[in-house]
A and B are shown apart, each in its own frame.
Chain A
Amino acid sequence: MAADEPASHEAEAGPVGRAPAIRPFLLTAGRVSGGGTAPPLPLETQVVSTPTGLSVLNSLTFEHHDIVAACRSPQSVAELAAGLRLHLNVIRVLAEDLCAAEYLAIYVPDIRATHDVSVLRRIIDGLRAVPD
Chain B
Amino acid sequence: MVSVPSPTETERPPLPVKLVIAGGFGVGKTTAVASISEIRPLTTEAAITEVAAGVDDLTHTPAKTTTTVAMDFGCLTIDPTLKLYLFGTPGQERFGFMWDDLVEGALGGLVIVDTRRLDDCYAAVDYFEYKDIPFVVAINAFDGTIEHDLDEVRWALDMAEHVPLIVFDARKTGSVRDALLAVLQLALSRAEAAVTT
Chain A interface residues toward B at CB < 8 A = 2-3, 34, 39-40, 42-51, 54-55, 72-76, 78-79, 81-83, 87-89, 105, 107, 109, 111, 113-117, 119-124, 126-128, 130-132
Contact = CB atoms under 8 A, between A and B. Distances in A.
Chain B interface, >50% SS class: mixed
The 6 closest A-B CB pairs, nearest first, are: A132-B174, A74-B13, A46-B13, A126-B78, A82-B42, A44-B16
B84 A109 contact: no
A89 B10 contact: no
A113 B13 CA distance: 14
Contact of A117 (B13, B85, B105, B191): B191
Interface size class of B (residues with CB under 8 A): 35 or more
A45 B12 CA distance: 13
A45 B82 contact: no
Contacts of A83: 42
B6 to A, nearest CB: 9
A119 B15 contact: yes
Nearest to B192: A117
B32 to A, nearest CB: 13
Given A124-B184, A126-B82, A127-B84, 15 more contacts: A2-B81, A44-B16, A81-B44, A82-B42, A87-B68, A109-B15, A109-B17, A113-B15, A119-B82, A120-B187, A123-B78, A124-B181, A127-B78, A130-B174, A131-B173
